[in-house]
């Protein structure tokens, strides 16, 4: 065994390692909590070091697979919408066989903590490194989690077998589960012992860090915290703001900066007065580092500072550790090669070329736009994770829409806020495997990591928003920021081509080569869209103005009733040049088309909420939430035109 610490009562007689009560391993096959030097040496065949000092790895899977997640639950326990139960008898046997396999191979065990200050949870991760490449998951996990401390109990166990179960183990599984396929990945949660505060997860055949370690760990800790009465947030976080959003919607980009606390995972602990009223929500970060998406990053991107931290060298010659995954790089190709008994995907220097810098706007070599890198929050925020309490003052949702949603809106009705939170809108990105990129979806609270009825969290949030207040005299600011486009898609979700002076659609071109872009599958020409991109600069400016209550004049949406910053004030007071022209819907749609979008949103949002909460505990308490959109009245096309002409101006 590689390393002992004072807290390790799991070691028995120096010969065995007790992972948990029923899991005893040969200590000689255990690598326990290794340091960075170990990883550098052990993983040397599987990475390249870029010109800027990052460690670059590869995985065969480019993203998570939430459609392959299943749950074993206690009798009488109810899962929520979209969460799939797994047969306990088969599942327990699957665990038994997997644990038997882990006794036969070398493993890496990583202890860490998720959470800070008032809510910390001990997590133990056991990774098969029979394929040594899999140890990269442990190295990334070492950066993501807080270091383990003696006084924090292990309450969650994560077992990872990236190579899956083959041969005799697979045959044994098929005896009780004939449908098992060794090449089909699966993540199986065991929540049957939550009454004992025990949660487990087993991943087979998953070699993508986000799917094997990061999100399974978070799912267990979020589930535990929800059961303890806390709010779970898939969100970026500052000292006073939560910004929720699905992977790829921009929550990281809009959170990264010198005041970042978290970019993905947090908790809210409600504080009650003696009468049971919620007077505040204390914010708790869960992770120590960012697993940041690299797609499209340039030197102007806020995340760039984190990616390039590895350039900084201290007096002893040490650099901050930045680990990267599946990103194109100068002088590097991605290849499959046999190392030992496994064929692995690795980055490899191209013969005759020097390894250069990462290429975050290119995706040909890696084959994915879901490149990732890890850097510690403390590298950007020098006051990060201070003991000073953090309290919720602004809560935002990142939607990625491409049609009629304004760049930012403010909601002062608690019922509407819960309705929007319960049906977060976006498009699928490359971060999620198994779903078509570009598909428009709605997902509860921007998370696919829950393992309970969504109504429980929705009712708690309704109380938070109602008790603390969302109005101008309230304690909370609630907003939705659109990180997509205005006017880009038609009702069917297709890009509306931008046309030249002759009325012909304009082909999209590669910004570097000038070549016309074509669909990789069909070969058809891709055209420029007519819509207006909401830039990162737009969104950051608008969020700053809204959360700090710097907007003085608001207008009400003519149908939905939420508040929109007065476009004229944004231009004349806050320097947002041409805001009215850029985001005037009449430039892109007729009033009749705008009304069709509105009717579609009302119907789809209502139907989604009906299906989401149907049969769940507290459904009756959420009826106002479910049908909040049905109370909206549709104006005439003339009234729609008059609204946009009054506040956004006439279209030439």
Q: What is the pLDDT of residues 492-538, one digit of tens each?
A: 888 999 999 888 999 998 877 888 988 877 888 989 999 999 999 99
> Residue ranges per domain, the chain?
1-32+63-228, 235-287+390-494+534-652, 497-530
What is the pLDDT, as a whole number, of residue 546?
A: 98
Mean pLDDT of 622-646: 98
Residue 1 has pLDDT above 70, yes or no: no
What is the band of 555 on the pLDDT scale with cuts at 50, 70, 90? very high
Tokens of 20: 């948990």
What is the band of 433 on the pLDDT scale with cuts at 50, 70, 90? very low
Mean pLDDT of 578-604: 97
What is the pLDDT, as a whole number, of residue 385?
A: 74
C-alpha span between 72 and 429 (Å, rounded): 28
3-state secondary structure of 559: coil
* pLDDT tens readout for residues 358-375: 999 999 999 999 999 998
Residue 10 has pLDDT above 50, yes or no: no
CB-based contacts of 544, cutoff 8 Å, min separation 6: 550
What is the pLDDT, as a whole number, of residue 6?
A: 38
What is the pLDDT, as a whole number, of residue 334?
A: 98
Mean pLDDT of 95-106: 97
Which residues face 424 on adjacent strands?
A: 443
**DSSP symbols for 474-496:** SS-EEEEEE-SEES-B-TTS-B-
What is the pLDDT, as a whole number, of residue 528?
A: 92
What is the band of 438 on the pLDDT scale with cuts at 50, 70, 90? low
Cβ-based neighbour number of residue 548 at 10 Å: 13
What is the band of 187 on the pLDDT scale with cuts at 50, 70, 90? very high
The domain made up of 235-287+390-494+534-652 is a member of CATH 3.90.228.20: yes
Cβ-based neighbour number of residue 602 at 10 Å: 18
* pLDDT tens readout for residues 450-502: 999 999 999 999 999 999 999 999 999 999 999 999 999 999 888 999 999 88
Q: Which among 478, 619, 468 has a CA at the least distance from the CA of 562?
A: 478
What is the pLDDT, as a whole number, of residue 426?
A: 76
Residue 69 has pLDDT above 80, yes or no: yes
Task: Please answer whether residues 324 and 56 qualify as being in contact, where contact means their C-beta atoms are separated by less than 8 angstroms.
Answer: yes
What is the pLDDT, as a whole number, of residue 294?
A: 95
Residue 577 has pLDDT above 80, yes or no: yes
What is the pLDDT, as a whole number, of residue 413?
A: 98
3-state secondary structure of 113: strand
Give residue for tokens 């919720």.
Answer: 392
What is the band of 302 on the pLDDT scale with cuts at 50, 70, 90? confident
Does the global pTM surpass 0.85?
Answer: yes
Query: What percentage of the chain exceeds 70 in pLDDT?
Result: 96
* pLDDT tens readout for residues 41-63: 999 999 999 999 999 999 999 98
CB-based contacts of 158, cutoff 8 Å, min separation 6: 123, 124, 125, 126, 200, 201, 203, 213, 216, 217, 220
C-alpha span between 263 and 144 (Å, rounded): 12
Task: Please answer whether residues 400 and 489 qualify as being in contact, where contact means their C-beta atoms are separated by less than 8 angstroms.
Answer: no
Cβ-based neighbour number of residue 299 at 10 Å: 8
Report helix, strand and coil shares of the chain as percent, to nearest 5.
30, 25, 45
What is the band of 117 on the pLDDT scale with cuts at 50, 70, 90? confident
Residue 7 has pLDDT above 50, yes or no: no
Cβ-based neighbour number of residue 22 at 10 Å: 9
CB-based contacts of 98, cutoff 8 Å, min separation 6: 159, 161, 165, 169, 202, 204
What is the pLDDT, as a whole number, of residue 439?
A: 67
Average pLDDT, the chain: 93
Residue 3 has pLDDT above 80, yes or no: no
Q: What CATH number is given for 1-32+63-228 in this structure?
A: 3.40.449.10
* H or E element that contains 278: strand 278-285
3-state secondary structure of 333: strand
What is the pLDDT, as a whole number, of residue 233?
A: 96
* pLDDT tens readout for residues 240-249: 999 998 877 8
Cβ-based neighbour number of residue 641 at 10 Å: 19
């Amino acid at each position: 065994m590689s390393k002992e610490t004072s807290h390790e009562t799991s070691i028995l007689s120096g010969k065995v390692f007790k992972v948990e009560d029923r899991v005893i391993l040969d200590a000689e096959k255990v690598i326990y909590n290794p340091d960075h030097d170990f990883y550098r040496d052990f993983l040397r065949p599987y990475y390249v070091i870029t010109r800027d000092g990052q460690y670059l790895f590869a995985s065969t899977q480019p993203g998570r697979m939430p459609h392959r997640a299943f749950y074993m639950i206690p009798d009488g326990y109810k899962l929520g919408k979209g969460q799939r139960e797994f047969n306990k008898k088969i599942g327990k046997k699957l665990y038994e066989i997997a644990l038997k396999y882990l006794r036969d191979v070398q493993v890496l065990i990583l202890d860490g903590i998720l959470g800070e200050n008032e809510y910390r949870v001990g997590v133990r991760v056991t990774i098969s490194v029979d394929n040594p490449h899999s140890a990269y998951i442990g190295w990334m996990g070492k950066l993501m989690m807080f270091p383990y401390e003696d006084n924090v109990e292990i309450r969650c166990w994560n077992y990872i077998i990236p190579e899956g179960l083959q041969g005799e183990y697979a045959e044994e599984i098929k005896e009780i589960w004939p449908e098992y396929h060794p090449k089909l990945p699966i993540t199986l949660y065991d929540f049957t012992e939550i009454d004992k505060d025990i949660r487990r997860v087993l991943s087979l055949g998953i070699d993508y860090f986000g799917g094997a370690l990061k999100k399974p760990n978070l799912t267990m800790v979020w589930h535990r915290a929800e059961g303890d009465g806390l709010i779970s947030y898939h969100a970026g976080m500052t000292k006073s703001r939560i910004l929720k959003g699905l992977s790829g919607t921009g929550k990281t980009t809009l959170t990264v900066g010198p005041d970042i606390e978290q970019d993905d995972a947090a908790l809210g602990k409600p504080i009650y007065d003696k009468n049971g009223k919620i007077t505040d929500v204390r914010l708790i970060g869960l992770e120590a580092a960012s697993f940041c998406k690299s797609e499209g990053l340039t030197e102007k991107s806020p995340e760039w500072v984190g990616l390039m931290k590895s350039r900084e060298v201290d007096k002893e010659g040490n650099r901050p550790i930045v680990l990267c995954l599946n990103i194109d790089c100068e002088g590097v190709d991605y290849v499959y090669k046999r190392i030992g008994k496994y064929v692995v995907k690795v980055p490899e220097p191209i013969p005759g070329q020097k390894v250069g810098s990462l290429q975050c706007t290119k995706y040909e070599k890696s084959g994915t736009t879901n490149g990732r890198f890890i850097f510690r929050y403390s590298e950007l925020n020098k006051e990060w994770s201070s003991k000073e309490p953090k309290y919720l003052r602004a809560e935002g949702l990142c939607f990625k829409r491409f049609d009629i949603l304004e760049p930012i809106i403010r909601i002062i009705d608690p019922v509407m806020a819960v309705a929007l939170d319960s049906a977060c809108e976006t498009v699928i990105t490359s971060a999620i495997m198994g779903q078509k990129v570009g598909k428009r979806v709605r997902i509860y609270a921007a998370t696919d990591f829950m393992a309970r009825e969504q109504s429980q969290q929705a009712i708690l949030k309704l109380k938070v928003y109602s008790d603390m207040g969302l109005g101008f005299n309230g304690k909370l600011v609630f907003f939705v920021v659109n990180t997509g486009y205005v006017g880009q898609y038609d009702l069917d979700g297709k890009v509306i081509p931008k046309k030249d002076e002759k009325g012909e659609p304009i082909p999209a071109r590669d910004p570097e080569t000038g070549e016309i872009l074509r669909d990789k599958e069909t070969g058809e020409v891709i055209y420029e869209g007519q819509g207006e991109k909401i830039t990162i600069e737009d969104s950051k400016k608008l969020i700053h103005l809204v959360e700090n209550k710097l907007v003085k004049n608001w207008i009400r949406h003519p149908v939905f009733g939420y508040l929109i910053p007065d476009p004229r004030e944004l231009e004349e007071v806050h320097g947002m040049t041409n805001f009215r022209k850029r985001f005037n819907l009449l430039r892109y749609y007729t009033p009749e088309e705008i009304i069709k979008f509105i009717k579609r949103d009302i119907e789809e949002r209502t139907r989604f909420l009906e299906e989401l909460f149907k049969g769940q505990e507290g459904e009756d308490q959420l009826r106002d939430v479910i049908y909040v959109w049905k109370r909206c009245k549709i104006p005439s096309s003339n009234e729609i035109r008059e609204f946009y002409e009054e506040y956004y101006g006439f279209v030439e």
